[in-house]
Amino acid sequence: MSRPASLRAGDVGVRLGGRLVLDGVNLEIGAGWTALVGPNGAGKSTLLRALAGLQPLSRGAVLLDGEDVHRIRPARRAARLAWLAQQGEVTGELSVRETVELGRIAHLGLMGTPGPADREAVDRAIALTECGAWERRRLHDLSGGERQRVLLARVLATEAPLLLLDEPTTHLDAPHQVMLTRLLRRIARGEDGPRAVLSVLHDLPIALRADRLLVLERGRLRAGGAPTDAAVQAALVDVFDGAIRIEADARGAPRVGLTLDAE
């Protein structure tokens, strides 16, 4: 795999319906797993869409390997950046394998015929997401959690060096949330080279397992750094109005707890 992609946002602002949703966001994403967290309405999904080149900006710029992401041709962009939306964007009539194969479109030649490398990438993605038992079934026959794993497999099949994932834990049960956490760390560290992974997460216990946290509030980036960083933890507690607390587990790793006021 090629080197991990570099993604940089400078003074990014987005207005939707006259409302300022993102206001002067500056960040840089490199190799490793970064989790983007914040309360509802903070602008997390809008920021992810802006970074993917799917949301027009009111000001600022997003650079993918030094190029304006909004000006890169879709085919070239798809080879460098893979995107997982909150809601599935493929038809339920496709089989699991056909859906995952869509991740290889940017790599196909003029004839559009998959080769051995494409089949190998699809096989690997299906195995990593544990979808092999039902790869011939149609998407509409699967549960919400199963569909989410298939859509994640499609993203992995791209072999793009940058993955942008909007709520990848949606519909997943506890065992598969654990599987996803381990998988994201494995992908970011990469047996065949590191990747850059940015995921929007509501599940704070999972987010705290990332290499880096970005804390967003009301369209502004409040903090960024390792989950063990005191400033990051303080910002996280603050944006959730003190409803959570961060404490160390038996191994010294941060974990989240709820702060319940006595009645």
Identify the pLDDT of residue 191. Answer: 67
What pLDDT was estimated at residue 262?
A: 38
Instruction: Look at residue 237 in the predicted model and tell me its pLDDT.
Output: 93
pLDDT of 263 reads 43
- Residue 144 CA to residue 57 CA, distance in Å, equals 32
What's the rounded Cα separation, in Å, for the pair 32 and 190?
Answer: 9
Spatial contact of 56 and 139, defined as CB atoms under 8 Å apart = no
Q: Which domains does the chain have, with CATH numbers?
A: 7-258 (3.40.50.300)
Question: Is the entire prediction scored with pTM above 0.85?
Answer: yes
- Identify the pLDDT of residue 3: 66
pLDDT in tens, 108-139: 765 577 888 999 999 999 999 999 999 999 99
